[in-house]
Structure formats: C-alpha cells, structure tokens
C-alpha cells in the first residue's frame, strides 16, 4: 500500500522537475531570441546612421582638404593635410557676413509676423464662435492639398506688379500665413478646457488678455516648435529668393553660395565651397541638437485632443 501511495507523489515530483526544466529552456530560448533581435535591430540602425551621416562626414573632411587632394582620381577618406584656411577663404569669397545678415533679418521678421497671424487665427478657430467657422476652416485645410509650387508663378506676377522685386518685402510677405501652423496651434488650443475661457469672460477678461495670459503660456511648446520650423524654412529657402531677390544686396544664404566659388574659367573650388556649406549648416545643426525636444514635444501635444 505504501509503495502504491508513494508512486503518484514521485511521478508528480518528476513532472514538476521536467516542467521547470522546460520553462527554463523556453525562457533561455526567449532571451537568446530577444538578444538576436536587438543585435539585428541595432545593426540595421547603425548601417542607416552611417548612410545618413556619411554625406556630412564627407562635407567636413572635404572642407579641410587642398584642391589637389580633392581632385585625386581615388578619393581619400581622411585628409592628408588639414587646410583650415578654407573656412576663412569661404567667409570672404562668398561675403557670408552680408548673406547671414540678410537671411537672419528675413527669418526673424517673417517669423514674428507669422507667429502673430498664426496665434490670432488659431485662437479664433479654437475659441470664438462665428457663422461658417467650420466651413472656412475646412476650406483652409483643403488648400494644404495644393502643392506650393503651383503658386510660384502667380505669386511672382503679383509681387512684380506691386514693384516688390529685389526687396525684402517679396521675401517676407508671400509666406506669412501657414495653414499647417494654424492647424497645429488650433489643435493645441483645443486641449485647453473651455471652462477656463468661460470663467475668464465672466470675470470680464478680454479675449486678447485671455489669449496672452492663459493660452499662449499653456501652448508655449507648440509656439516654440512653430518658431523653430519657420526659421529653418526661411534659412533653407532657395527657389523663391532666387526668383524675386537675385541682386547682391538682397541675396540669402542658399542662393548666395550658388556661383560664389566658380572662377572665370568655370572651375569650382570645391574644398572652399564645402567649408562655406559647413558654416551655413552649423546654425541649423545646433538648433536641432539643443532644441529638438521642444519640436517633438510641441508636435506631439498638438496631435492629442482631450
């Protein structure tokens, strides 16, 4: 009897031991699989990062090469001799001081005016009630489906008829209104409880005071994102400045570098040109490094309602 009673207990113990071993094997297999997936993932990300960063690396090493080394039949991946004077030569050859000043002026003025228009428009669509508001906003959103290049000819004819060619006005006014920025800020304003607005109206607060004291501080991350994106857009603009402000006094950075390093025989001093591109790219690179969290935070907050 005792042997028959002990037999099931022994079998249960052996089954438990086998089950524990199986669990350990499954857990080990899962850990190995997770490690392999992470290795494959980071290998892929590393390769993609190399592909993305290589042009920047090539720009930097080319900017400190001599012209003879740059023109070698077999390119060198590291300079044989560092020529940092290329940066000084680039600054004076392309007159980067004037180009930086023009671009900064256009960027700051257009950003400030665009922010004023964007804030007032977003507030009106988010809080004010007027007839046809939803229809008007839907029509504005529909214009985002039209490529901006289609407006180039009509905008050029308009500014030429106004006599704005070769002036900062032509570089600033046509792009003050951005439907995307208005939509982005409106979505952020919609997250602010309407009860705050109603309570402020009961207390006799004006719309502009409520906007300045309540809504703008709460939407500050999105406003910072819009400011950064607008400045970057002005900094990188190429086609429009090339069309309407091609005189030396109003050139911006992007089109000012176009033929600055080509001599009379048509040869281009590529190392000096690369140095100029590195100088021009540095501000945007620093903006991205130090302010990227504000861009992500502002965009992410504007995409959630409630």
pLDDT at residue number 305? 47
- Do residues 253 and 100 make contact, with C-beta atoms less than 8 angstroms apart? yes
Q: Output the pLDDT for position 301.
A: 57
Which pTM was predicted?
Answer: 0.76
- Rank 22-26, 111-115, 234-238 by mean pLDDT and report only the highest: 111-115
The rounded Cα 177 to chain-centroid distance in angstroms is: 18
Name 268's bridge partners: 262
Distance CA 139, CA 278 (A): 41
Which of 133, 103, 40, 143 is closest to 232 using CA atoms? Answer: 103
Report which of 220, 216, 228 is spatially closest to residue 286, judged by C-alpha positions.
Answer: 228
Q: How many residues does the chain have?
A: 306
Give the sign of the dihedral formed by CA 107, CA 108, CA 110, CA 116. positive
8-12, 62-66, 75-79, 251-255: range with lowest mean pLDDT: 8-12
Do 176 and 117 form a contact (C-beta atoms < 8 A)?
Answer: yes
User: CB burial class (10 A; 0-12, 13-18, 19+) of residue 95?
Assistant: middle
Q: Residue 306: its pLDDT value, please?
A: 42
Question: Is the per-residue pLDDT at 77 higher than 80?
Answer: yes
Residues 150-178: tens digit of each pLDDT = 888 889 999 999 989 989 999 999 889 89
Tell me, letter by letter, the H, E, C secondary structure of 235-272. Answer: HHCCHHHHHHCCCHHHCCHHHHCCCCCECCCCCECHHH
Who wins on pLDDT, 42 or 8? 42
pLDDT tens digits, one per residue of 198-209 = 888 888 888 888
Do 113 and 177 touch, CB atoms closer than 8 A? no
């Amino acid at each position: 009897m005792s042997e028959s009673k002990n037999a099931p207990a022994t079998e249960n113990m052996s089954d438990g031991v086998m089950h524990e071993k199986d669990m350990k094997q499954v857990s080990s297999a899962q850990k190995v699989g997770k490690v392999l997936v992470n290795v494959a993932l980071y290998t892929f990300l590393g390769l993609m990062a190399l592909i993305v960063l290589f042009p920047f690396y090539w720009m930097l090493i080319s900017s400190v090469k001599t012209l003879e080394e740059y023109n070698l039949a077999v390119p060198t991946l590291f300079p044989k001799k560092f020529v940092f004077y290329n940066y000084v030569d680039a600054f004076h050859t392309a007159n980067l001081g004037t180009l930086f000043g023009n671009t900064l002026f256009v960027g700051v003025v257009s950003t400030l005016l665009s922010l004023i228009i964007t804030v007032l428009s977003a507030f009106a669509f988010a809080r004010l009630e007027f007839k046809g508001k939803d229809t008007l906003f839907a029509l504005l959103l529909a214009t985002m489906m039209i490529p901006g290049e289609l407006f180039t000819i009509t905008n050029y004819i308009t500014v030429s008829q106004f006599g704005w060619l070769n002036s900062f006005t032509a570089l600033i006014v046509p792009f003050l209104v951005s439907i995307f920025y208005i939509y982005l800020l409106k979505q952020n304003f919609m997250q602010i409880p309407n009860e705050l607005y109603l309570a402020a109206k009961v207390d006799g607060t004006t719309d502009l005071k409520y906007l300045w004291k309540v809504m703008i501080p709460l939407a500050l991350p999105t406003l910072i994102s819009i400011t950064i994106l607008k400045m970057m857009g002005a900094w990188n603009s190429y086609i429009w400045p090339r069309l309407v402000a091609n005189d030396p006094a109003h050139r911006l950075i992007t089109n000012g570098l176009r033929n600055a390093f080509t001599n009379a025989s048509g040869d281009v001093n590529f190392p000096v040109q690369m140095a100029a591109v590195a100088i021009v790219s540095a501000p945007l690179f620093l903006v991205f490094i130090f302010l990227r969290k504000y861009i992500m935070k502002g965009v992410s907050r504007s995409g959630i309602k409630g």
